[in-house]
Chains A and B, each alone.
Chain A
């Protein structure tokens, strides 16, 4: 019996070893820096690879970002990028992942942070080890990054969405905003930017914002909130949903009820394709979103520029991001710097067919 027990344990270990072997093959392990001695002794990180840390495994938006990142790194260095997914969508799990990357002696880490401040200690460790740290999609505080790849400036989004509302309403009337949660920092910043645009420019004076509703980024709650808006404001002309979950839920409600209310905002082309159209049968004439693949690509160029010493992450520096053109590092207003990808991309009936398969 003892022998059986022993053999069983051995089997267990073998299974683990086997699985470990498979895992290492299917994942992109570019960082097998042969000379580990130097990697740990020198504070300057060796050319151990370019890493991207996502928010969580299975986040489609982040997956597309990772795709763009990998492509550019492959093109620039000829090696595969290291794409690391944390175990859960928490800062805790990202700390484990970053620690592991420091051990591997990577050259750069580009991260979509799950918490603004919680990663400070570990990212400072990384920078002390000579690793170039940048953020994309969602940033950390200014002490824990060198620069941030911002998918779209807050102001650009505010003005673009107001322009769309102005255009769809025909210049006057009521509109409502369907947001995510009341605490979502990015949502609130965009809504504030929209309000600011309304105050500063006279052409919006005939538009009236009747309510900001919160669907908490849950399809059911967003649906309920849309229906409440429709019954509370019979003169409503447009709903603007700057969240991918909210816009998809609202689009379905409006289209199913054959409502005259139109929709715009920020949405995923794949989810919104069936609702986008110019006629009355479709609820959304056009909408916006940035291109996550481009966010990832720019992230890769920023990582590369930081590693090559082209930029240090200080405001005023500029670099060339391949065929994407020239970019400048600007002040982010939080004590740190950022690189702004550009104005959001417009999805209308003319291009939605092509984009709906992309993401």
Chain B
């Protein structure tokens, strides 16, 4: 039976060695290795130490990738996450500058993020006919607006006490703390999406929302939960970003949502819902990070790097469609 995304669904998943080797994720691993080989060839300074040192700035966007993968699988989209990051980072910085201990400031960042996510979720589940793109566009503007008012006339706030933030931007050996945190979250989110009933339900909603509803899947409750979790992850992302920026400003978090969506789509997660695996997204995330670090080290023009990423993204979307056209021709 062909689903709405054009793929065939069989009762028993194909688990043969051949299909495993040739799945999208294996291709991504191959590409990841290729990118690293390429970077080592073109840049004499591309080595583990430097990659780990440059990584945190890019890695924090992975916090947004995890929940974004769920949202895309649901067939939804959330473009307000960048603004949530900005608002959370602003609130955490303001709290710290008012003498609040670091742990409390951290909780504030996460709670602010969660509340923002809850707002998105409530609007989208109470008025299910509203398109998520428009709703989150509106909340994006609102969250950025609140953040800009809170930031005041200078448009920038800097931490007066950086002690706690230095702890989370520290390194263990040469590996930054944030790397371990990202890996832990990666495992949790991947296992939930691919190995639990909850994860199955998410795919069911994405494949056919109405059918899922009539099968007893609590569609709106799951959407509310996921949008709130997205806010929470944006709060964590904000915390780590604050530890890098020592504060927040009006451009903090701008464009993060698009980077997260790009990583997910490049990893084979379809924006039309019900398709793709988080593992692919995570590998693609690391691939993009390594590519940007490598190309940055040879002083390539930044816009050229963006063009390359754009081409890769288009290729990632085109390849499955083209290959599908070939299979159709063969079976026809």
Contacting pair B298 A27 (CB below 8 A): yes
Task: Name, among B38, B299, B311, the residue most crowded by chain A CB atoms within 10 Å (CB to CB).
Answer: B299
Please, which residues of chain A bring their CB within 8 A of the CB of B299?
24, 27-29, 31, 82, 84, 100, 104
- The contact of A183 among B54, B153, B245, B312, by CB within 8 Å, is B153
Whether A342 is near chain B, meaning CB under 8 Å from some CB there, is no
| Nearest CB in chain B to that of A36: its residue | B44
Task: Name, among B45, B323, B327, the residue most crowded by chain A CB atoms within 10 Å (CB to CB).
Answer: B45
Q: How far is the CB of A31 from chain B (nearest CB, A)?
A: 7
Answer whether A20 and B38 are a contact pair too, CB < 8 Å, given A91-B249, A100-B54: yes
Contact code string B292-308 (vs A, CB < 8 Å = 1, else 0): 11111111111111111
In the bound complex, what is the Cα–Cα distance between A118 and B245 (angstroms)?
A: 4
User: Which listed segment binds A: B26-34, B68-76, B274-282?
Assistant: B26-34
| Nearest CB in chain B to that of A93: its residue | B302
Whether A85 is near chain B, meaning CB under 8 Å from some CB there, is yes
Please, which residues of chain A bring their CB within 8 A of the CB of B35?
13, 16
Contacting pair A19 B304 (CB below 8 A): yes
| SS of A interface (majority) | helix
Contacting pair B298 A87 (CB below 8 A): no
Contacting pair A9 B31 (CB below 8 A): yes
Contacting pair A23 B312 (CB below 8 A): no
Please, which residues of chain A bring their CB within 8 A of the CB of B42?
20-21, 24
Whether B156 is near chain A, meaning CB under 8 Å from some CB there, is yes
Contact code string A1-36 (vs B, CB < 8 Å = 1, else 0): 110111011001101110111011011110111101
Contacting pair A120 B319 (CB below 8 A): no
Answer whether A33 and B247 are a contact pair too, CB < 8 Å, given A4-B326, A96-B296, A100-B296: no
Answer whether A115 and B244 are a contact pair too, CB < 8 Å, given A85-B301, A85-B302: no
Chain B residues 299-332 with CB under 8 Å of chain A are 299-308, 311-312, 315, 319, 322-323, 326-327, 330
In the bound complex, what is the Cα–Cα distance between A27 and B315 (angstroms)?
A: 26
Whether B47 is near chain A, meaning CB under 8 Å from some CB there, is yes
Whether B196 is near chain A, meaning CB under 8 Å from some CB there, is no
Please, which residues of chain B bring their CB within 8 A of the CB of A97?
296, 302
Contacting pair B45 A90 (CB below 8 A): no
Answer whether A118 and B44 are a contact pair too, CB < 8 Å, given A57-B303, A95-B57, A95-B244: no
| Nearest CB in chain A to that of B294: its residue | A20
Task: Name, among A2, A28, A86, A97, the residue most crowded by chain B CB atoms within 10 Å (CB to CB).
Answer: A2
Please, which residues of chain A bring their CB within 8 A of the CB of B323?
1, 4-5, 8
In the bound complex, what is the Cα–Cα distance between A223 and B245 (angstroms)?
A: 37
Please, which residues of chain A bring their CB within 8 A of the CB of B27?
5-6, 9
Contacting pair B156 A103 (CB below 8 A): no
Contacting pair B169 A36 (CB below 8 A): no
Q: How far is the CB of A6 from chain B (nearest CB, A)?
A: 8
Contact code string A80-124 (vs B, CB < 8 Å = 1, else 0): 001011111111110111011011110000000011111011100
Contact code string B215-243 (vs A, CB < 8 Å = 1, else 0): 00000000000000000000000000001
Please, which residues of chain B bring their CB within 8 A of the CB of A82?
299
Contacting pair A103 B297 (CB below 8 A): yes
Please, which residues of chain B bring their CB within 8 A of the CB of A36?
44-45, 47
Whether A47 is near chain B, meaning CB under 8 Å from some CB there, is no
Whether B20 is near chain A, meaning CB under 8 Å from some CB there, is no
Contacting pair A118 B302 (CB below 8 A): no
Answer whether A95 and B38 are a contact pair too, CB < 8 Å, given A1-B326, A29-B298, A103-B54: no
In the bound complex, what is the Cα–Cα distance between A185 and B155 (angstroms)?
A: 11
Contacting pair A100 B293 (CB below 8 A): yes
Whether A162 is near chain B, meaning CB under 8 Å from some CB there, is no
Whether A138 is near chain B, meaning CB under 8 Å from some CB there, is no
| Nearest CB in chain A to that of B154: its residue | A183
Contacting pair B322 A33 (CB below 8 A): no
Contacting pair A20 B297 (CB below 8 A): no
| Nearest CB in chain B to that of A124: its residue | B246
Contacting pair A92 B44 (CB below 8 A): no
Whether A172 is near chain B, meaning CB under 8 Å from some CB there, is no
- The contact of B246 among A20, A121, A185, by CB within 8 Å, is A121
| Nearest CB in chain B to that of A87: its residue | B302
In the bound complex, what is the Cα–Cα distance between A338 and B156 (angstroms)?
A: 23
Whether B252 is near chain A, meaning CB under 8 Å from some CB there, is yes
Whether A40 is near chain B, meaning CB under 8 Å from some CB there, is yes
Whether B22 is near chain A, meaning CB under 8 Å from some CB there, is yes
Whether B58 is near chain A, meaning CB under 8 Å from some CB there, is yes
| Nearest CB in chain A to that of B155: its residue | A183
Whether B49 is near chain A, meaning CB under 8 Å from some CB there, is yes
In the bound complex, what is the Cα–Cα distance between A131 and B162 (angstroms)?
A: 23
Whether A141 is near chain B, meaning CB under 8 Å from some CB there, is yes
Residue pairs across A and B with Cβ atoms less than 8 A apart, 5 shown, are A1-B330, A16-B38, A87-B303, A88-B251, A99-B54
Q: Which 6 A-B pairs have the closest CB atoms?
A: A117-B158, A23-B300, A103-B50, A100-B296, A90-B251, A87-B302
Further pairs besides A26-B301, A99-B57, A103-B293: 8, Cβ < 8 Å = A6-B22, A19-B311, A21-B42, A88-B255, A90-B251, A99-B296, A115-B156, A117-B158
Q: Which residues of B contact A (CB under 8 A)?
A: 22, 27, 30-31, 34-35, 38, 42, 44-47, 49-50, 53-54, 57-58, 153-156, 158, 169, 243-247, 249, 251-252, 254-255, 291-308, 311-312, 315, 319, 322-323, 326-327, 330
Q: Which residues of A contact B (CB under 8 A)?
A: 1-2, 4-6, 8-9, 12-13, 15-17, 19-21, 23-24, 26-29, 31-34, 36, 39-40, 57, 82, 84-93, 95-97, 99-100, 102-105, 114-118, 120-122, 141, 182-183, 185
